[in-house]
Amino acid sequence: MSSENNSKSGSKEISKPEIPKLDLAKVDPKCAEWMDDCIKRLNTLYNNKDGANICNVMSGHEIIAIIRLVEHIFMDESNLCEAEAPIKVVGDIHAQFQDLNRLFDLIGRVPEEKLMFLGDYVDRGPQGIEVVMLLFCLKIRYRDRIFLLRGNHETPSVNKIYGFYVECQVKYGVGIWWDFQSCFNRMPMAGLISKKVLCMHGGLSPELVNLDTIRNIPRPCEPLDRGLLIDLLWSDPTNKGDGWFHSIRGISYMFGKGVVEQACKTMEIDLIIRAHQVVQDGYEMMTGRRLITVFSVPNYCAQFTNAAAVVCLNANLEISFQQMMPGPLPATAKAKAAPAIANDLNTDAAKADKEFIKPFIKV
């Protein structure tokens, strides 16, 4: 990646629409028509004033059919799914369907934009099924324009506790929750952009010795309590040292700048982009400038006053960001600023790292 362009007023990109490699309308026109209709119906739930939810526009049988179809697409992809820049990288969404659509209004929609999502589509918010089904339908319709990775909340041990199980139970019955878990077990664990930018939900692992380590993970798979799968979904960066540390979460690890630098050298990559933690500006550059955390919905759980952001990579792998500022919260909300997680402990250096990533400018 070049820092020269990022040191200017912004990372500029000449917009050149790409022709999708796979035109579903030609390969399977009936499926394309079905997906177009599904996407249209789901979009009616955006800013809907009548209190409608997905139950008003999709039956349980249709949802299961879509799940079965997208499962095959996930299994056709590598566990390290690969995409080429230009592309935009999206962090946690957490069932905030309205905010996801507001984000699309800002950054653009598939197929005009190519997007890679880093997981955590469900839990915490009220519309996890809506979020997942919109993204699944987009994946079926434009499979080479959107890439969906797995987050730690796409596991049964987590989403049974933090809201998705109850949401499924209320809207369609418990059975459909099991169908979603079957699908989540088939989602790719990581992504690779232009051979040089590694993406995952959580972070690095002591067991991650090369990129084939990820490619060779068998699927379907369900992360248990430790090991590579857990680390890819759960580990966190830290600015407290260079090595590996016990996680304050009580699961997986925390890793320092030295671990990131060694991983980049060993795997011949330039940058790591991950999600998993709320950050105040929607993005945070780790000390060392080799890792970015991105979080893509604002006012997370009404507990934080954070902005949302996406990381943009142009064709030259120059990085920039698009940011969606948080709206007002109810007076009763006791929200606070999200803490910094792994930025440089030197205030001036942390400021310089933040300013290294310039606002996205579309020419």
Taking only the tens place, the pLDDT of each residue in 282-311 is 999 999 999 999 999 999 999 999 999 999
What residues does each domain of the chain span? 30-327+335-356
Candidate CATH numbers 3.40.190.10, 3.40.1280.10, 3.60.21.10, 3.90.1150.10; the one for domain 30-327+335-356 = 3.60.21.10
Residue 302 burial (10 A CB sphere; 0-12, 13-18, 19+): middle
Q: What is the pLDDT of residue 10?
A: 45
Q: What is the pLDDT of residue 362?
A: 80
Three-state DSSP class for residue 33: helix
Entry pTM: 0.94
Q: Residue 108 phi/psi, 5° resolution?
A: 105, 165
Instruction: Assess whether 153 carries a catalytic annotation.
Output: yes
Question: Average of pLDDT values for 109-113?
Answer: 97
pLDDT for residue 184 is more than 50 = yes
Choosing from 153, 201, 246, 276, the catalytic residue is 153
Distance CA 340, CA 238 (A): 10
Question: Average of pLDDT values for 127-142?
Answer: 98
Retrieve residue 147's tokens.
Answer: 């890439």
20 preceded by a cis bond (ω within 30 of 0): no
- In this structure, of 93-97, 281-285, 358-362, the range with the lowest mean pLDDT score is 358-362
Average pLDDT of the chain is: 94
**Cβ atoms within 10 Å, residue 27:** 9
Instruction: Give tens-digit pLDDT for 319-332.
Output: 999 999 999 998 88
DSSP assignment string, 59-99: -HHHHHHHHHHHHHHHHHS-SEEEE-SSEEEE-B-TT-HHH
Distance CA 45, CA 51 (A): 9
Q: How confident is the model at residue 15 (pLDDT cuts 50, 70, 90)?
A: very low
Given a contact cutoff of 8 angstroms between Cβ atoms, the answer to whether 228 and 270 are in contact is no
Given a contact cutoff of 8 angstroms between Cβ atoms, the answer to whether 159 and 120 are in contact is no
Residue 17 burial (10 A CB sphere; 0-12, 13-18, 19+): exposed
